[in-house]
Structure formats: C-alpha cells, structure tokens
Amino acid sequence: MQLANISSLSGLDISHSDTESDLFTYFAHQLDPSITWQDLEWVQSISPLPLVLKGILRADDAIRAVEAGAKAIIVSNHGGRQLDGAIASLNALSEVVDAVAGSVDVLVDGGIRRGTDVIKALALGAKAVLLGRPILWELAMAGEEGVSHVLQLLHDEIDVSMALCGCREIQDIEPSLLVQTIRT
C-alpha cells in the first residue's frame, strides 16, 4: 500500500505491509496527546489559511476554538471511529451553535445520509453539512456517475423535504420544524 500524499515522509514504509493493522498502528502512533490549545497559535503562525477545527462536540470547546482564532467549527465525532461512545454529531450541534452565537460558521459531519438529515442539521443551526461515506460508497460502486447520482438524490430529497415542511428557501429552515421525542 502507498499513500501518495505522505509517502515522502521519512521513516514511513508501509508499502510492504502484510496486514492492514500495520497502517492502523502507524497512524495511531501519529496522534499526539500533548497537543494543546496553545499549539493552534503555532499553526496559525506558519499558515495564512483560515483555521477550521473539526471534532468540536461541547460548548466550552467551541468557545475556546473561537478564542484561539478558529474561523469555522466542524461538529464531528469523526464517524464514531475515534471514540465509539462519543455523542452523535447532531446531538451536540445545538449546544455548539448556541455557544458561538454566530461568531463563526458551524458545519456538521457524521451520519448525513438523507435529505432529511440535511434539513435537521440546518434546523439545528449548521451552516452546511459534510459528506463522507455516501460519496465514497458510490465512488467505489459506480465511479463518477455514482457520485453524481447520490448527490442528485440528496438534492431531490432536500427539495421534497423542504416542500413538505413549507420551506421555499434554505433560510426558511428553522428549529421549530423539529420535534424532540423522549425515549424511555
């Protein structure tokens, strides 16, 4: 296996790996638990790009992200693959949106599979949604045509869902469209 974007890194030799776990082990060792909020200052000092932080799931972290200079926040539990017991992104979204109070854009990632998922995310305050698995699944199954197909399905589902909710414009989507149920 070869990863073109990082194959030039010294010490990285997974091209002769016999198991998938070698790749997992390599990346698991790249996570640095000593990274702090102050490290964001360094990142900003070496890059002119806007800082967008992914993985924010709590109000206090959202506020710290803004204070650290984030220009946008992505509410994400990384698809549940980093910590399988983490809160679902949609369940954390309102708290994060409320905490930043419009000071930065809030996007959401994780579990978006249907047009109704997009409507829910927008109603909870997301500026946009990010897609991963649906796009990758279709790319693997049907290439570019599959990706176009899934995006068209999503677009059509959003249109129908908006019409059924009485929304003519994206801006018409608001929290009052949602009903929260309590599970017992």
Q: In the chain, where does DSSP find H-type helix?
A: 20-28, 39-46, 59-67, 89-100, 115-123, 133-165
How does DSSP assign 139-173, residue by residue?
Answer: HHHHHHHHHHHHHHHHHHHHHHHHHHHT-SSGGG-
Give the amino acid at 60: D
Do residues 68 and 40 lie in contact, with contact meaning Cβ atoms separated by under 8 Å?
yes
Give catalytic status of residue 78 as yes or no. yes
Query: Which residue has tokens 């854009």?
Result: 105
Label residue 101 left, alpha or beta by phi (over 0 means left) and psi (-120 to 50 means alpha). Answer: left
Residue of 23, 15, 20, 65 lying closest to 40 (CA atoms): 65
Cα 67 from chain centroid (whole Å): 21
Q: Which two tokens stand for residue 51?
A: 């800082």
CA–CA dist 170, 180 (Å, integer): 21
Which position among 16, 29, 78, 155 bears the catalytic label? Answer: 78
Please give the positions annotated as active site.
Answer: 78
